[in-house]
A = this chain, B = another copy of it.
């Protein structure tokens, strides 16, 4: 019986894990001026589109649970980028809503996707292929 399947170079998950971390690392110098971490940034991406939503929906969109989101959202609230409030209809639901300050931050982020695209040395076509395979894995 061969152990080849256990060689690090034969793993698919490892480059997925490593590339994810390396790309997120590239965001740091771009996000530092905005005072955001990568995870906080993707929360803001969603809020820039949705304005208001509950924590459960946010977690489903971002594949994150309340253990990650609760403290993170409290920090963003402390920074004045969003407000947290319980739903009147069903108090189990916590809604987060972007503030004006949160909306203003969007203009500072406008060039980040372009800057990241530039520092990945893959073609436009490879990027599309990667995108579609990754979403296939996520289904």
Contact = CB atoms under 8 A, between A and B. Distances in A.
Interface of A: 1, 3, 5-8, 10-24, 27, 38, 42, 45-46, 48-49, 61-63, 106, 109-110, 112-114, 116-117, 120-122, 126-127, 129-131, 133-139
B24 A13 contact: yes
A135 B130 CA distance: 12
Given A5-B113, A11-B113, A18-B138, 10 more contacts: A6-B45, A12-B116, A12-B117, A14-B42, A16-B23, A17-B20, A18-B62, A19-B20, A19-B137, A122-B137
Given A45-B6, A45-B7, A23 B137 contact: yes
Nearest to A4: B113
